[in-house]
Amino acid sequence: MQVEKTLEALLRDAPQGVAPIITAIAAACVEIERLTSLGGLAGSLGASLGQNADGDTQKELDVRAQELMMVAMRQSGVAAIASEELEDWELCDAKGTFAVAFDPLDGSSNIDTNMSIGTIFSILPAKGSDNPFTQPGHAQIAAGFAVYGPQTLLVLTFGKGTDVLTLDPRDGVWRVTRNHVQITGNSTEYAVNASNYRHWDRAVRAYVDDCVSGVEGPREKNFNMRWIGSLVAEAFRILTRGGVFLYPGDVRQGYREGRLRLLYEAHPIAFVIEQAGGRASNGHGRILDMVPKSIHQRVPLFFGSAEKVERLERLHNDPQIGSETSPLFGRRGLFRA
């Protein structure tokens, strides 16, 4: 009978000082999952309370998850925090050596629909009383996300690969169920909100056109599409069976840099994906090389199997695609390899 490693055992290999923070975050995720699973029994978790700092509709569960994460931050002596649900970053424990950026509840539009939602976190070295959230993504010490779905999962990396833990409902223990995940290259699945097609740039339209063209098109194979509206659910699916995720910038007001935030969504997801052998890009270069200019800065996000993301980068960097669509480089992508 296989005996799975517990989170406690896994964290013995974590960088010095990180284990208490991840342990506290994992405990907060258990509380958030409990609240999520109550659904309508916990009142109106999906009710809109107003807008958050980034102009998103703030739901009751966003606020409750934020409160639970703040308890975890205080309990584990974090030096500074940034959150999707806070206007600006905050100093916490002056003796702390790590800073944490988090999205306490990702996928809020799905709260009332019983779809998988989650929590995303990124752990960085603190910078004394200076703002620690202007470091490149590759400065992260650890990152991960929880998925509250049919299973309660914790996906985690501290730079030595990406592991998946499952919360055992029989005893409340997190157990490693997948070690050193590697993203497969042979998937024909892409995830994008296709209702935004008319707002995209030519490179993204060309990529999706080629998928939609199927076997008669330049990719010479048929594709499948998924869009859940929860970044954590899409990311876990891609870790499980490959594929690519696209949230491009588009011409809508406020969406020029897309919808996802660099600090507490793209950076942690990119760390997890790269540690699983995948790639995460803003369409031109590596997400982990980007330095946030502000806490809620948005970024176009493409991640998944390395080969698929590299194709998207080639399209974005191809001067022909950026120009007026010519017959040879039209929507059919006649000469696109």
Where does this chain bind ligand AHG (CB under 6 A)? 56, 84, 103, 106-109, 193, 229-231, 259
DSSP 96: -
The stretch among 32-40, 100-108, 138-146, 174-182 that binds Mn ion (CB under 5 A) is 100-108
Strand partners for 48: 59
**CA torsion 203→224→260→310, rounded to 10°?**
-50
As a whole number of angstroms, the distance between CA 138 and CA 123 comes to 11
Task: Count other Cβ atoms within 10 Å, centred on residue 41.
Answer: 8
Residue 31 identity: E
Q: What are phi and psi of 74, to 5 degrees?
A: -70, -40
Residue closer to ligand AHG (CB basis): 65 or 126: 65
From the list Mn ion, ligand AHG, none, which binds 189 (C-beta under 5 to 8 Å, kind-based)?
none
From the list Mn ion, ligand AHG, none, which binds 229 (C-beta under 5 to 8 Å, kind-based)?
ligand AHG
Beta strand pairing status for 189-191 and 244-247? parallel
Residue closer to ligand AHG (CB basis): 108 or 162: 108
From the list ligand AHG, Mn ion, none, which binds 134 (C-beta under 5 to 8 Å, kind-based)?
none
| Residue 84 in contact with Mn ion, rule: CB under 5 A | yes
Please say whether the beta carbons of 185 and 306 come within 8 A: yes
Strand partners for 80: 91, 99
Q: What are phi and psi of 102, to 5 degrees?
A: -150, 155
Residue closer to ligand AHG (CB basis): 103 or 274: 103
From the list Mn ion, ligand AHG, none, which binds 193 (C-beta under 5 to 8 Å, kind-based)?
ligand AHG
Task: Give me the least distance between CB of 121 and ligand AHG, in Å please.
Answer: 13
Residue closer to ligand AHG (CB basis): 96 or 268: 268
The stretch among 81-89, 140-148, 192-200, 213-221 that binds Mn ion (CB under 5 A) is 81-89
Task: Give me the least distance between CB of 334 and ligand AHG, in Å please.
Answer: 31
Show the DSSP H helices in the chain as ranges.
7-10, 19-38, 60-75, 202-213, 231-241, 267-275, 306-317, 319-322
Residue closer to ligand AHG (CB basis): 158 or 247: 247
Task: Give me the least distance between CB of 105 and Mn ion, in Å please.
Answer: 5
Task: Give me the least distance between CB of 233 and Mn ion, in Å please.
Answer: 11
Measured in whole angstroms, the distance separating CA 170 from the mean position of its chain's CA atoms is 28
* Contacts of residue 212, Cβ cutoff 8 Å, sequence gap at least 6: 223
From the list ligand AHG, Mn ion, none, which binds 165 (C-beta under 5 to 8 Å, kind-based)?
none
| Residue 106 in contact with Mn ion, rule: CB under 5 A | yes
Tell me the number of residues near Mn ion by CB under 5 A.
4
Task: Give me the least distance between CB of 8 and ligand AHG, in Å please.
Answer: 29
Task: Give me the least distance between CB of 107 and Mn ion, in Å please.
Answer: 6
Task: Give me the least distance between CB of 3 and Mn ion, in Å please.
Answer: 35
* Contacts of residue 50, Cβ cutoff 8 Å, sequence gap at least 6: 57, 58
- Contacts to Mn ion by CB under 5 A: 84, 103, 105-106
